[in-house]
């Protein structure tokens, strides 16, 4: 199996990437396995942060690196929490506080439209001048109260109209098939497959 270092230690993401990349013969290892500390994410866009994270992990591991930068963009909040999704409720990062803050910011708001974004960057090595960059989106609405126990992050508040439930109520394989990360990964896989 080909080793790929994932520039994240988030167990939810690791599980999803490992499941989705196993059929392509990739063994996805978290950067913690190589004692790589989390990179700074100083930028205002998903793509800039993903590039920085992938380069950092490739440089320190000597392996190809995959970075994901993702988050939730809420229309009525001008795209917030966006790149600040992980720490929206303050430090240390907490899904519970993030969700509570999101509900408070949207109190009384009729427009609940939101979408998840996932940018994936695959760098073959730290000086790769042409990394693969793909982006997926998943559209839904923010609920008034949490529902479900699956997934992670904002999933209990993210209503998926096609299924009439929250993304925390979807089985993992169903979420993977339609999520922002799943869509971005399908695009990445298409780019990795040799042309036939």
> Which residues contact ligand IMP (rule: CB under 6 A)?
8, 10, 41, 68-72, 85-86, 98, 116, 151-155, 179, 181
Residue 104 vs 195, nearer CB to ligand IMP: 104
CB of 13 to ligand IMP, least distance (A): 7
d(CA 108, CA 184) in angstroms, rounded, equals 33
Q: Give the residue at shortest CB distance from ligand IMP.
A: 153
Counting Cα atoms < 13 Å in the Cβ hemisphere of 169 gives 14
* Token pair for 102: 């999101």
Q: Rank residues 26 and 116 by Cβ distance to ligand IMP and give the closer one.
A: 116
> What minimum distance in Å lies between the beta carbon of 132 and ligand IMP?
17
CB of 121 to ligand IMP, least distance (A): 12
User: Can you tell me the distance from the alpha carbon of 177 to that of 72, in angstroms, rounded to the nearest whole number?
Assistant: 18
> What is the C-alpha separation between 5 and 3, in angstroms, rounded?
7
154 within 8 A of 117, measured Cβ to Cβ? no
108-132: burial string, b at 16+ Cβ within 10 Å, e else: eeeebebbbbbbbbbbeebebeebb
Cα(19)–Cα(12) distance, rounded to whole angstroms? 11
Shortest gap between Cβ of 7 and ligand IMP (angstroms)? 9
Q: Which of 69, 95, 127, 173 is catalytic?
A: 69
Rank residues 1 and 33 by Cβ distance to ligand IMP and give the closer one. 33
> Which C-beta is closer to ligand IMP: that of 148 or that of 189?
148
Active site residue 69: yes
CA 56 to chain centroid:
18
Catalytic residues: 69
């Amino acid at each position: 199996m080909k080793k790929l270092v994932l520039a994240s230690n988030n167990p939810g993401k690791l599980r999803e990437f490992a499941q989705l990349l196993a059929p392509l013969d990739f063994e996805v290892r978290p950067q913690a396995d190589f004692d790589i500390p989390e990179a700074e994410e100083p930028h205002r866009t998903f793509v800039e942060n993903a590039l920085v994270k992938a380069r950092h992990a490739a440089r320190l591991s000597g392996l190809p690196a995959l970075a994901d930068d993702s988050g939730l963009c809420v229309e009525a909040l001008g795209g917030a929490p966006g790149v600040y999704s992980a720490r929206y409720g303050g430090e240390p990062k907490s899904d519970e506080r993030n969700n509570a803050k999101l509900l408070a910011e949207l109190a009384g708001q009729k427009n609940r439209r939101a979408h998840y974004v996932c940018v994936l960057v695959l760098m073959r090595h730290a000086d790769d001048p042409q990394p693969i960059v793909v982006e997926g989106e998943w559209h839904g609405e923010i609920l008034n109260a949490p529902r479900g126990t699956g997934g992670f992050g904002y999933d209990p508040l993210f209503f998926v109209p096609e299924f009439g439930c929250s993304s925390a109520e979807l089985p993992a394989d169903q979420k993977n098939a339609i999520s922002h990360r799943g869509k971005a990964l399908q695009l990445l896989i298409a780019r990795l497959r040799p042309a036939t």
